[in-house]
Amino acid sequence: MSDMDEMDDGSGIVKKFMFLNRKAPHGTVYALEGLEVVLITAAFDQDVSMVFTDDGVYQLMKGIDTKGIEVKDFSKTYRALEGYDIEKLYVDQVSLDARGLTEDDLIVDVTVLSNDEMANLMAEQDVVISF
């Protein structure tokens, strides 16, 4: 449990943080580490958005089964984000198309953006962190 939950540093500055997820869920530790960083960031009441692009869109796929590779399936954890007040989830249309996926294949509700929309969203951010 975090004592930070109860603490108010009085500054009240809210920055726009974007977490950019580019890699497949397993095989590297990036996806899981990125998710954990987002869950921790949620304690600081910042304006957080998550973007899934390139192979990162596979992180949100329904029906992931990790038994064969003997690692934890954390895909269900993306469903917990709402409870952490992280509701801005974006997916890149081109990345979905390139992999033959649609919104219906994803485990959470997302907003699908075109390249131009994604570029604008990125331009608005104070901080972009890539995993």
Partner 1 sequence: MPMVNIAGKEVEVDEEGYLVDLSQWNEDIAKYMAVEEKVDLTDSHWEVVNFLREYYAEYQIAPAVRVLTKAIGKKLGPEKGNNKYLYELFPYGPAKQACKIAGLPKPTGCI
Which member of 24, 46, 64, 77 binds partner 1 (CB under 8 A)?
77
Q: Identify the residue whose tokens are 């990790």.
A: 66
Closest to partner 1 by CB, 1 vs 13, is: 1
Containing H/E element for 90? strand 88-92
Closest to partner 1 by CB, 36 vs 124, is: 36
Judged by CB under 8 A, the stretch of 53-61, 67-75, 104-112, 121-129 that binds partner 1 is 67-75
Based on its alpha-carbon atoms, the radius of gyration of the chain, rounded to whole angstroms, reads 15
User: What is the C-alpha to C-alpha distance for residues 27 and 48, in angstroms, rounded to an integer?
Assistant: 26
* Contact positions with partner 1 (CB under 8 A) in 7-46: 36, 39-40, 42-43
User: What is the C-alpha to C-alpha distance for residues 92 and 114, in angstroms, rounded to an integer?
Assistant: 6
Residues of the shown chain interacting with partner 1 in the complex, contacts defined by CB under 8 A: 1-5, 36, 39-40, 42-43, 72-74, 76-77, 79-80, 83-84
